[in-house]
Structure 1
Amino acid sequence: EAIKEIISFSDEASQYIPDEEPKMGYDKLQEAVLSVKRMKGFHDYIKEDYNKIKLLENFSKSEKVTLNRWTSKEKAKEYRDSLILELQEKVINPILQGWREYCYADTIKFVLPAVEYYHELRQKVSMLNFQDLLLKTSRLLRDYPEVRQYFQQKYKCLLVDEFQDTDPIQAEIIFYLAGQDVYEKNWQKLIPRPGSLFVVGDPQQSIYRFRRADIAIYNLVKGLIKKSGGEVLKLQANFRSLHSIGSYLNPIFEELFSSGQGKFQAVYSPMQTVWEDNPQYLSGVKQLIISKESNKSDTIRQDAQSIARVIRDMLDKGFELVRTEEEIKAGASTSVTYKDFMILLRYRSGMDIYTRTLTEHGIPFTVSGYASLNES
Structure 2
Amino acid sequence: MDAQAVLAGLDPEQRAVAEAVRGPVCVLAGAGTGKTRAITHRIAYAILTGRMSPQRVLALTFTNRAAGELRGRLTRLGATGVQARTFHAAALRQLSYFWPRVIGGDRPTILKSKIPLVREAASVCRVSLGGTELRAVADEIEWAKVTQHRPEDYAAGVARAGRKSSVNVVDVANLYAMYEQLRRERNLLDFEGMLELTAAVIGEHPEVAREVREQYRHFVVDEFQDVNPLQKLLLSMWLGDRDDLCVVGDPNQTIYSFTGATPRYLLDFTREFPDATVVKLVRDYRSTPQVVALANGVIDRAVGEEARRHRLELVAQRPPGPEPDFTAYADEIAEAEDVARRARELVEKGVPAREIAVLFRVNAQSQAYESALASQNVPYVVRGAERFFERPEVREAVVRLRGASRAGADAETDGTGLIHTVRHVLSGAGFSDRPPEGAGAPRARWESLAALAQLAEDMAADNPRASLPDFVAELEVRAAAQHAPPLEGVTLASLHAAKGLEWDAVFLVGLVEGMMPIIYADTPAAVEEERRLLYVGVTRAREHLHLSWGLARSPGGGRQRQPSRFLDGLTPKASTHAPPSVDRIKTRRVAKGPQPCRVCGRPLTAAVERKLGRCEDCPAEMNENVLVALKDWRAEISAEQRVPAYVVFTDATLQAIAERAPETLEDLAQIPGVGKVKLDRYGPAVLSLCS
Report TM bin, short chain: 0.5 to 0.7
Match of 1:215 among 263, 268, 279: 263
Match of 1:238 among 277, 281, 284: 284
Residues 121-200 of structure 1 aligned to structure 2 (within 5 Å) = 121-180=182-241, 191-192=242-243, 196-200=244-248
Preserved contact between residue 251 and residue 267 of structure 2 (Cα < 8 Å): no
Preserved contact between residue 203 and residue 218 of structure 1 (Cα < 8 Å): yes
C-alpha RMSD over aligned residues = 3.2
Q: CA deviation at 1:349?
A: 1.4
Preserved contact between residue 203 and residue 266 of structure 1 (Cα < 8 Å): no
- Residues of 2 paired with 1:313 and 1:285: CA distance? 17
The match for 1:268 is 311
The 3-state SS of whatever aligns with 1:369 is: coil
Alignment of 1:247 onto 2:279: no
Preserved contact between residue 348 and residue 370 of structure 1 (Cα < 8 Å): no
Residues 1-376 of structure 1 aligned to structure 2 (within 5 Å) = 100=159, 115-180=176-241, 191-192=242-243, 196-225=244-273, 227=274, 229-258=275-304, 260-261=305-306, 267-277=310-320, 283-291=322-330, 294=331, 299=332, 301-316=333-348, 318=349, 335-370=350-385
Preserved contact between residue 288 and residue 306 of structure 1 (Cα < 8 Å): no
What is the number of residues matched between the two proteins?
227
1:139 alignment partner AA:
A
Larger proportion of helix? 1
- In our comparison, the structure showing a higher alpha carbon Rg is 2
- Residues of 2 paired with 1:364 and 1:204: CA distance? 33
Q: CA deviation at 1:162?
A: 0.8
The 3-state SS of whatever aligns with 2:372 is: helix
The 3-state SS of whatever aligns with 2:357 is: coil
Preserved contact between residue 162 and residue 201 of structure 1 (Cα < 8 Å): yes
- Residues of 2 paired with 1:266 and 1:306: CA distance? 40
The 3-state SS of whatever aligns with 1:288 is: strand
| 1:109-165: CA deviation from partner (whole Å, max 9, x where unpaired) | 887665444323211100122222222222222222221222222333222111101
Q: CA deviation at 1:206?
A: 1.0
Preserved contact between residue 196 and residue 234 of structure 2 (Cα < 8 Å): no
| 1:289-319: CA deviation from partner (whole Å, max 9, x where unpaired) | 123xx4xxxx1x2222111111223344x3x
The 3-state SS of whatever aligns with 1:305 is: helix
Preserved contact between residue 164 and residue 206 of structure 1 (Cα < 8 Å): yes
CA gap of 1:276–1:113, structure 2 versus 1, over 3 A, is closer
TM-score where L is the length of structure 2: 0.30
2:253 alignment partner AA:
Q
CA gap of 1:108–1:147, structure 2 versus 1, over 3 A, is farther
Preserved contact between residue 204 and residue 266 of structure 1 (Cα < 8 Å): no
- Residues of 1 paired with 2:173 and 2:251: CA distance? 34
- Residues of 2 paired with 1:370 and 1:121: CA distance? 30
CA gap of 1:203–1:98, structure 2 versus 1, over 3 A, is closer
1:223 alignment partner AA:
R
The 3-state SS of whatever aligns with 1:147 is: helix
- Residues of 2 paired with 1:112 and 1:345: CA distance? 33
- Residues of 2 paired with 1:159 and 1:99: CA distance? 32
Q: CA deviation at 1:232?
A: 1.6
- Residues of 2 paired with 1:358 and 1:266: CA distance? 43
Where has structure 1 moved over 6 Å in runs of 4 or more? Answer: 107-111
Q: CA deviation at 1:99?
A: 12
- Residues of 1 paired with 2:202 and 2:360: CA distance? 41
Preserved contact between residue 312 and residue 363 of structure 1 (Cα < 8 Å): yes
If asked which structure has higher relative contact order (CA below 8 Å, sep 6+), I would say 2
The 3-state SS of whatever aligns with 1:199 is: strand
Preserved contact between residue 251 and residue 263 of structure 2 (Cα < 8 Å): yes
CA gap of 1:147–1:108, structure 2 versus 1, over 3 A, is farther
CA gap of 1:222–1:369, structure 2 versus 1, over 3 A, is farther
Q: CA deviation at 1:100?
A: 4.5
- Residues of 1 paired with 2:385 and 2:352: CA distance? 23
1:312 alignment partner AA:
R
Preserved contact between residue 226 and residue 263 of structure 2 (Cα < 8 Å): no
- Residues of 1 paired with 2:184 and 2:343: CA distance? 54
The match for 2:622 is none
The 3-state SS of whatever aligns with 2:287 is: strand
CA gap of 1:347–1:132, structure 2 versus 1, over 3 A, is same
The 3-state SS of whatever aligns with 1:169 is: helix
- Residues of 2 paired with 1:257 and 1:120: CA distance? 44
- Residues of 2 paired with 1:111 and 1:253: CA distance? 36
